[in-house]
């Protein structure tokens, strides 16, 4: 099935891709960002936050974006 996937790791990606049917969000994350820690990313489907066991559907828009972007003079 076909979904739209957006993320910034590697070369960056914002395009339609084919994935297997009935794939949970956690499995999709592990496939696409095998070295990523889930707590470092906000995962949304169709602009809504999702649980890790939510099943992706045809036409979904999956966005994986970085969390905790911060700067400070004093650490």
Partner 1 sequence: MRFNPFAWAKLKFLCHAGDSEIGGFGITSRDDLLLVEDFVTVKQSTTAISVKFDDVAVAEFFEDQVDADRMPEQFARIWLHTHPGDCPNPSSTDEVTFARVFGNCDWAIMFILARGGQTYCRLRFNSGPGGSMNIPVAVDFYTSFAASDHTAWQKEHKRNVTIEPLVPRNRLLAQSDDWDLVEDPFANEVEALLEDDMFEFEVESWEDDQCRI
Residue from 51, 53, 58, 69 touching partner 1 (CB under 8 A): that is 69
Q: Work out whether 39 is an interface residue with partner 1 (CB under 8 A).
A: no
Establish if 9 lies at the interface with partner 1 (CB under 8 A): yes
Selected from 1, 23, 44, 54, the binder of partner 1 by CB under 8 A is 44
**For partner 1, how many residues bind (rule: CB under 8 A)?**
29
Q: Could you give the CA distance from residue 62 to residue 69 in angstroms, rounded to a whole number?
A: 20
In whole angstroms, give the CA distance from residue 24 to residue 38.
14
Rounded CA separation 2/18 (Å): 5
């Amino acid at each position: 099935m076909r979904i739209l996937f957006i993320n910034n790791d590697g070369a960056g990606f914002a395009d339609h891709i084919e994935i297997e049917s009935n794939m949970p969000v956690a499995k999709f994350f592990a496939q696409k960002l095998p070295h990523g820690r889930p707590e470092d990313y906000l995962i949304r489907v169709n602009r809504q936050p999702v649980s890790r066991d939510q099943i992706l559907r045809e036409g979904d828009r999956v966005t994986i974006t970085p969390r905790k972007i911060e700067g400070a003079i004093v650490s």
